[in-house]
Amino acid sequence: ERTRTVRSERKDEVRRARETALRRIRRRRAIKRAAWMGGLGAVTFVAFFLLTRVGGPKPIPQAALAAASDAGCGDVQTPAASAPGGIHLSPGQSHTYSEHPATSGPHDPSPLPGDPHVYDAPVPETRAVHNLEHAYVLIYYRADGPDALQQAVVDRLASLARAQDKVIMAPYPNLPSGTSLALAAWNKLWECPAAVTADQARTIASGFIQAYRGTSNAPEPRAA
């Protein structure tokens, strides 16, 4: 009888030891799994952050600044002391802007579509301002009159606009006197005279696009 009891106790000890060992193995596996999932989550978060991060405006390249100086362009202006976004008009409602072309302010709820990039006729300014809020760059030019932008310049800029995301080009009939080319981003404006050449205009516009297009200079840069 005693022998049976001893054997039973040994079996119980072996079973308990086996169960303890299994619990340890399961615990280690659970810890490894949690660590792996945590690492995967961290990697996913970092990847998402990097893919969706919006950078700030960049300095305008020196080549663009030099071309602007040679062409007689002014400095890049910040027209409004404060330019909050998100101020919507009623659909189709008109608005009189204090600056021409407008670079911020109330705007139509519907922006211009991203395509076409180049228009032959003026676009609704209230819609264009909404595009600026989405970190677009607008290339405006004078199409008529003695200070009209040269056709070679228009063609070169149109080629540039068609090759870029978030860039729209259109004539603007009410540019200030002495301005034949105006580059607009949200609350940023760069104006050039009719004397600007095609090469200069492309260099200037490319630099402006590089500096402001798709950046946090605009209130809603992630919007299409």
- Rounded Cα distance between 188 and 209, Å, is 11
- Rounded Cα distance between 113 and 111, Å, is 6
Range in 5-9, 28-32, 62-66, 165-169 the model is least confident about: 5-9
Do 84 and 33 share a structural domain? no
**What is the average per-residue pLDDT within 138-142?**
99
The model carries a pTM of 0.78
Do 176 and 67 share a structural domain? yes
* Backbone phi, psi, residue 51, to 5°: -75, -30
If you average pLDDT over every residue of the chain, what do you get?
Answer: 90
**Cis status of the peptide bond prior to 116, with omega within 30 of 0:** yes
**What is the average per-residue pLDDT within 30-47?**
65
Do 69 and 176 share a structural domain? yes
pLDDT band at 42 (very low <50, low <70, confident <90, very high): low
Do 118 and 202 share a structural domain? yes
pLDDT of residue 194: 98
The predicted-structure confidence for 62-95, as pLDDT tens digits, reads as follows 999 999 999 999 999 999 998 888 899 999 999 9
* Domain that residue 153 falls in: 62-212
40 pLDDT above the threshold of 90: no
Q: Does any domain span residue 167?
A: yes
Residue, of 74 and 21, whose pLDDT is higher? 74
Q: Does any domain span residue 25?
A: yes
- Rounded Cα distance between 113 and 224, Å, is 9
Do 37 and 144 share a structural domain? no
51 pLDDT above the threshold of 60: no
Range in 35-39, 66-70, 93-97, 213-217 the model is least confident about: 35-39
Do 92 and 45 share a structural domain? no
Instruction: Quote the number of domains for the chain.
Output: 2
Do 38 and 18 share a structural domain? yes
Q: Does any domain span residue 150?
A: yes
Residue, of 209 and 50, whose pLDDT is higher? 209
**What is the average per-residue pLDDT within 129-153?**
98
Q: What percent of the chain is predicted at pLDDT more than 70?
A: 88
Do 146 and 73 share a structural domain? yes
2 pLDDT above the threshold of 70: no
pLDDT of residue 49: 45
Q: Select from 167, 208, 223, 222 the least CA-distant residue to 57.
A: 208
- Rounded Cα distance between 44 and 51, Å, is 10
Q: Does any domain span residue 219?
A: no
Specify the amino acid at residue 13. E
The residues, any chain, with a CB within 8 Å of residue 80's CB and separated by 6 or more, are: 99, 103, 104, 105, 187
Do 193 and 89 share a structural domain? yes
**What is the average per-residue pLDDT within 25-49?**
67
| Contact by Cβ (8 Å): 106, 85 | no
- Rounded Cα distance between 116 and 169, Å, is 9
Q: Does any domain span residue 82?
A: yes
Q: The dihedral of CA 170, 171, 173, 175: what is its sign?
A: positive
Q: Does any domain span residue 220?
A: no
169 pLDDT above the threshold of 90: yes
